[in-house]
A and B are shown apart, each in its own frame.
Chain A
């Protein structure tokens, strides 16, 4: 059961999360809208109801008010009428105290708001009081203040008057209804009804009215006279005002309706609606937050899944998860690619797996058993498995336990690397190195690589080792190759000053003689960046001894050939000359011989002989012409003298001489003053002289050690007319006898010389009005000097 659970869990680890929900960005607002609309509607309905109710209440109030007004007014009129009735009787002296007492007392009894009815004199003195038990006033009392003023007012206008209300100790707020009485035209007194306002209201208005409304009596100045409750009219309450029009007084009655259950009742529905709306909104917000959190979590989950998926798919390493029984629960794309099986073909399969080649079954079964037992080696298994196509390949498989979120192992995850390619690459590399070594060792040239700074030899091929020794790697290149090494001055760049960006860089390319063996090497040296990044010197030295030997031979042959060809040319010229001359000469001989023969035999005709002799003469003339033509030709090769810079001339000569100088490792040193004027010479001829002297000098140093083979060419101005040029060698010098003879034609000290060079040179120089002579130097060597004229108008 537990295992099954684990299996389930394991499977769920690789289950895809729910797909992303489409996002309705505005939809979440709808409930808010609905709630808002609902709340507003409910509030409106409530307000409408409220308003209607108020309206109804207001109409009721108005009805009640009018009714109250009428009732009060009717009662007041009744009082007035009663007083008027009494007054009329008094006027006519029909009323006595007794009847007054009876009638007034009865009236007071019937009308509780009337406290007492009194008869006062014109001065305001109470004379009769009915009922006599009344406590409000008493006989003999003098009316004062407002009451007296009201009385006087009543006499003045002769109409019933209500006094302003006043406070009576017995009755509370009261007022007087004053009815003045005249007898004839004189005032006799006035009947006054003292009425309590409170009683008036209580009596005239039924109890139902007073329980429904709060009543407030106000005087003309809006001062509260009397109130049956503490409620004051406000805008929010249903209220109304009745104006009681009393003669000479005015009282207002404010009526405020009591609300059944209190005023706040009207707000309960609205409050409830608001509270409900609030709750609904809060709930919605909470729900939305929850939904958002949930979406966010889902998004993270998806991202995490996608990341994991991308990771496992993009891995070159094949990944395979198995549960504790070896059942495959997951394979990634790389694994599928390697084996050629689909994911669906592998997931759920227990060993033996389909990619096990039959011949490896046993080994692989052992491996998987070892791995499932947790004894997989940390270095992994190297094994051979099979693609779906049957192709076998080598892999390395690493096992690690698969732990779930609770820390419980649910299986094994194995990573698989295809090692066929690395294996092949390794073999290839080895072979490549072998080929490289074979090729480099097979070279005839000596190749070695040395560190530019330390001169440590990093690499040397077989030819190098053969020349310089077999234990050279690691030693100092300068020491090892000392016998055959370009001198530091000869290098184009000092290796120590090279910056990495200058590489690769040519250091030396030239020929060097091995001091010990005498072999010549063509040494080519470059600075390059070595495989580990440092600057190294790569030197390739090719043995050119034999080639050089051949070159020398070739050069000699070339020279001989040149001379031969010159001879041949001369021979051809002579031959051509001879042939041309032969013709007329032979003809002349023939004519002469023919004549002689004929004359000897005597068998001739004179005309024939004459003609023949004439022809012979013509031929002689022809021969003369040939000779003349030859002389003309020779004449044409006159020297061509031009002003020229000696330096230029020497440069041109050096171009030829350098070949010979390099071959013999001779150093040519030219030292010419800069302000030397131009010389006037035949450029070709003087170059020939210089070349001849340089070659002689180089040849003279044949036996001189290489480091002393130095030929210097100097020039100086000796007077306003001449420049002296000297060519000095460090050669064997000359014996005195030679000096006398060297300029003589056909004299030579050289084995292969013709003996005409110096003679010609001297001729050329003398032709230029100069001199050529030789000096033997005491320290060894010879100096040839010659003078040449300078440009005449170049005098400075």
Chain B
């Protein structure tokens, strides 16, 4: 897992500069963008960290950028920085999920704690994503018949019932079941159910 970066998007240069000064003082890696468009231009799925986003910007607003990133499938947590009277907007943003917001003028400790929380969240998300990715890869190794058998096993049917259902012999069902367990890298039925549940 690569190091996390704090991406700052703000049209006000003093804000960018002072935030960088503050955050670098805390030991974070900081990357600044003067407009939402510039950030979108450099965004890639492999970015880790969080986004400190000004709501009011001349062209593309912070909320619009949030929408765009959503459609792109970004998982970067966003901390909106709002001015006075932007509260309803921020609330709307919060309802879209995956965000936090902080009102200007803010206390630096406040911002830092939110950044800390956001980075923590991002960390967990990235880990889960990695795990989900592994299970998915294992599932892809199953043959058609093995997947059918697995579906029925997960629903709690006995081998005999599965054999009747699929019109195959008990012995074949047992063979398929063993291969599924092996391919999925699980030992117990409970583990299999958990793995299937996480991906579907």
A binds B: yes
A residues neighboring B (CB under 8 Å): 571-572, 574-575, 578-579, 582-591, 593-595, 597-598, 601, 612, 615-616, 618-619, 622
Which A residues are CB-close (under 8 A) to B24?
594
Contact A579 B56 (CB under 8 A): yes
Stretch from B9-17, B70-78, B91-99, B128-136 forming part of the interface with A: B9-17
Cross-chain contact of A590 among B83, B84, B85, B108 (Cβ < 8 A): B108
Contact A582 B105 (CB under 8 A): yes
Q: Taking A590-B19, A590-B22, A594-B22 as contacts, is the C-beta distance between A584 and B14 under 8 angstroms?
A: yes
Which A residues are CB-close (under 8 A) to B22?
590-591, 593-594, 597
Which B residues are CB-close (under 8 A) to A612?
18, 21
Contact A586 B17 (CB under 8 A): no
Cross-chain contact of A586 among B15, B21, B26, B56 (Cβ < 8 A): B15
Report how far A612 CA is from B14 CA in the complex, Å.
11
Cross-chain contact of A582 among B19, B25, B104, B107 (Cβ < 8 A): B104
Which B residues are CB-close (under 8 A) to A589?
18, 105-108
Tell me the residues in window 173-194 of chain B with beta carbons closer than 8 Å to chain A beta carbons: none
B24 to chain A, nearest CB (A): 8
Report how far A588 CA is from B105 CA in the complex, Å.
10
Tell me the residues in window 1-34 of chain B with beta carbons closer than 8 Å to chain A beta carbons: 12, 14-15, 17-19, 21-22, 24-26
18 A/B residue pairs, CB under 8 Å, sorted by A:
A572-B85, A575-B83, A575-B84, A578-B85, A579-B85, A582-B83, A582-B84, A584-B14, A587-B12, A587-B18, A589-B106, A590-B19, A590-B108, A591-B21, A597-B25, A615-B14, A615-B21, A618-B14
Contact B14 A622 (CB under 8 A): yes
Contact A593 B15 (CB under 8 A): no
Report how far A597 CA is from B24 CA in the complex, Å.
10
Contact B21 A583 (CB under 8 A): no
Contact A594 B18 (CB under 8 A): yes
Contact B84 A578 (CB under 8 A): yes
Report how far A588 CA is from B21 CA in the complex, Å.
11
Which range holds the interface residue count of chain B?
20 to 34
Contact A586 B85 (CB under 8 A): no
Which B residues are CB-close (under 8 A) to A598?
25
Contact B85 A587 (CB under 8 A): no
B71 to chain A, nearest CB (A): 28
Contact B14 A619 (CB under 8 A): yes
Question: Residue-by-residue, is B44-63 near A (CB-CB < 8 Å gives 1, otherwise 0)?
Answer: 00000000000010000000
Contact A594 B25 (CB under 8 A): yes
Cross-chain contact of B18 among A575, A586, A597 (Cβ < 8 A): A586
Cross-chain contact of B84 among A579, A584, A587, A595 (Cβ < 8 A): A579
Contact A586 B84 (CB under 8 A): no
Contact B21 A590 (CB under 8 A): yes
Given A583-B15, A593-B108, A615-B18, 19 more pairs with CB closer than 8 A: A571-B85, A574-B85, A575-B84, A578-B84, A579-B85, A582-B84, A583-B14, A586-B15, A587-B15, A589-B105, A589-B107, A590-B19, A590-B108, A591-B22, A594-B25, A598-B25, A612-B18, A615-B14, A622-B14
B81 to chain A, nearest CB (A): 8
Which A residues are CB-close (under 8 A) to B17?
587, 615
Which A residues are CB-close (under 8 A) to B104?
579, 582-583, 585-586
Report how far A615 CA is from B14 CA in the complex, Å.
8
B9 to chain A, nearest CB (A): 15
Report how far A612 CA is from B17 CA in the complex, Å.
9
Report how far A588 CA is from B84 CA in the complex, Å.
17
Please name the residue on chain A nearest to B55 by beta carbon.
A579
Shortest Cβ-Cβ A-B pairs, 10 listed: A590-B18, A593-B108, A575-B85, A578-B84, A579-B83, A587-B14, A594-B21, A594-B22, A582-B104, A587-B18
Which B residues are CB-close (under 8 A) to A597?
22, 25-26, 108
Q: Which of B14, B19, B106, B107 has the largest number of chain A CB atoms within 10 A?
A: B14
Report how far A618 CA is from B17 CA in the complex, Å.
13
Report how far A211 CA is from B36 CA in the complex, Å.
177
Which A residues are CB-close (under 8 A) to B108?
589-590, 593-594, 597
